[in-house]
Structure 1
Amino acid sequence: MTATNLIEELRWRGLIHQTTDEAELGKLLQSGPQTIYIGFDPTASSLHVGHLMQVMMLRRFQRAGHRPIALVGGATGMIGDPSGKSEERNLLTAEQLQANVDGVAEQMKQFLNFSGDQGALLLNNFEWMKSYSYLEFLRDVGKNFPVGAMMGKESVRSRLDSEAGLSYTEFSYMLLQAYDFVQLSREHGCKIQAGGSDQWGNITAGIDLGRRMLGQQLFGLTAPLLTTSDGRKMGKTEKGAIWLDPERTSPYEFFQYWVNVEDADVMRCIAYLTEIEREEYDELAAQTEADAGKRVAQKRLATWMTELVHGEQGLESAERATKILFGGEIEKASDAQLSQIFADVPSTEAERSVLGGDGWWIVEALQASGLTSSSSDARRAIKEGSIYLNNRRVGDMNHRLSEDDLASETVTVLRRGKRKYALIRFS
């Protein structure tokens, strides 16, 4: 991919929100391989869906022959970026911060190629800030920062006008991030910083500092924030953020999030977050417009994203779980998987001993689960063929549940009709 093609790709995908000088940036990219960096504050030990916009930006530049730097903010994370925040963040302990840095750094290796002389770099700004004394920093960096320019930044103005106000600690964040750009330019020849649109003030501050301290022209590029069509941040559910760590958000939950993206948002998500080519994108857009009910675009988005983040095995697990939810036979499942799949399904506790001996009569199990109101109701439902055990139809009214009827370590799944489920957990 050439530099021209890269700019064109970013443009058709809607990924160019602001640039400091798009024409000169294009010339720079055409002049040869360049180095670009994006910073990631380690506020948690895992990245979440909101970070994928910037992770994928680095991937796109690397695919085009440029060198990405993923900068983990071990130093800036001690302060917290005020941009886009209505109040000051809680400060993390050194131990929490290091655990978060390690977690984020490890996840980055899933998405970028760090091998070879021109491979991506994974850096931590604590490495160059840890030995910088306060007085030295003020002399070297602070003297190059006009307070008037800092006060004019939207991230500062909005907080000063809010009830929460802005502490001196957060006010200083801009200096630290700006100095990162200078350091990376000096040590790694980095001339481009990218980020979300809420980072524009910090990015331009770094460009100005680079001009003052190094006499160099640096460039900035921002992408839109990942939001829904009505302006809400994407990547959150009622349960919280959608994490990339499978221990926090399972592959199944991750897959289901994308399958359930609104029609108004799905094509933008495909453009922003995937590497699906323009031809397929246009085809998916046409199919969605012709029959949105089939959710063809959502299924393609879910498949692509889940395989990217969780690999082939994670995708297979998510697809298998989805089939179970929609009536596929249940086999080789775990308690954890069934709990995720049937998170909103009522469950009943029963003694495991009832599965021994002659077993537990299916009619009694149905009554205990609440799927039927009486033994006659249970018999009638079985006779009608509307009762399923682990998504297999029950045809024998005298069937007795045994250990063989467990769908996982301790759970049996009962269903009446197409969508009415109940779980029985045997303790």
Structure 2
Amino acid sequence: MVWVKLLALIFMAVVPYTTASPEINPRFHTILSLADLEYEDKYVVGLQNNLSPTDLKKHLLRVSAVQYRNKNTTFEGGTGVRKTYAIGDYRAYSAVLDRDTIKEIWNDTVEKPPWGLATLSNKKPHGFLYRYDKSAGEGTFAYVLDTGINTKHVDFEGRASMGFNPPETEPTDINGHGTHVAGIIGGKTFGVAKKTQLIGVKVFLDDEATTSTLLEGLEWAVNDIRSKSRQSRSVINLSLGGPYSEALNRAVNHISDIGILPVVAAGNEGIPATFFSPASADRVLTVGAINSDWQETNFSNFGPQVNILAPGQDILSAYISTSRATRVLSGTSMAAPHVAGLALYLMALEDFDSTKKLMDRILQLGKKDKVVNLMTDSPNLIVHNNVK
């Protein structure tokens, strides 16, 4: 019997989690109120205390750019940012903004997101925004083969559910790995595809599972997807791996052939991925890991079996101890869900009639020649969501 293991490498300190208003981002938009009833769309926006001049400038440029793009109404005196205010450490500005601009600023920009999210929409490391289309993966489905999902976590907004569960096990996540992965795929705060539906397929009881249990979970996921005609709207995330297995590779290749994309972690041994399954399968999307400086990590498996690189070191996401718990983890387990989330995000925006076309699109959008310290035969390609 072949054993398969989870591919999160490092457990870091717990980070306190607090929810923002569902409408106002906590970093910049701490206050938003009507300033003058004469103009329905005139606002005063209060900003975080001690905001640096650089962050303030970036935010105001962002607001002005969005307003210019959306401008479809004229106001006396024009639209956009009108005046900035500095009262001690307090910063604010007044602006005339149409409703589309307000909605876009609230809903489709994450100020100071986890660095992994920012990587997806920036052309250089250490970006400060995660920009994405407001569709955000709506109408798609992520099947997370893992330890389960803490479905009560507030970051999932009721979009997470448990599907397959082995007999005599709890239908929840008692490990944390699966919840963390699901948060990267589709959490409101931490996720790439913030409106996708998340289905937990529990194949681990602790940090190991047998190949037979994994195949049982894959069978359930495929049957559920096909019975509900979700092939063109679903992705299976596999943040797991073990020794080379012809049986497992054949299974995931078949899943790809019938129109369901498997996204697979490359593994954490720092050696060629060709020795591991399902990372070595031919028709899956295998993901290696980079750090926040866009260096390929020393733990990531590498080589020609790896298709693309994604954030995988010191990644913040949801966890299990409470409905608001978070934790920082590292591993190719964290890299794969960034790409799975992107696949779902693209499915909501574009039509794909095969997994090959979806994979080709993800690779086409990738940032080329940006990786530092690239390992032997790994692709110099970093995941990107095509937002300009």
Category of TM-score, reference length = shorter chain: under 0.3
TM-score (norm 1): 0.22
**Which structure shows the higher helix fraction?**
1
**Which structure shows the higher strand fraction?**
2
TM-score (norm 2): 0.24
Decide which structure has the larger Cα Rg and report it.
1
Structure with larger RCO (C-alpha < 8 A, sep 6+): 2
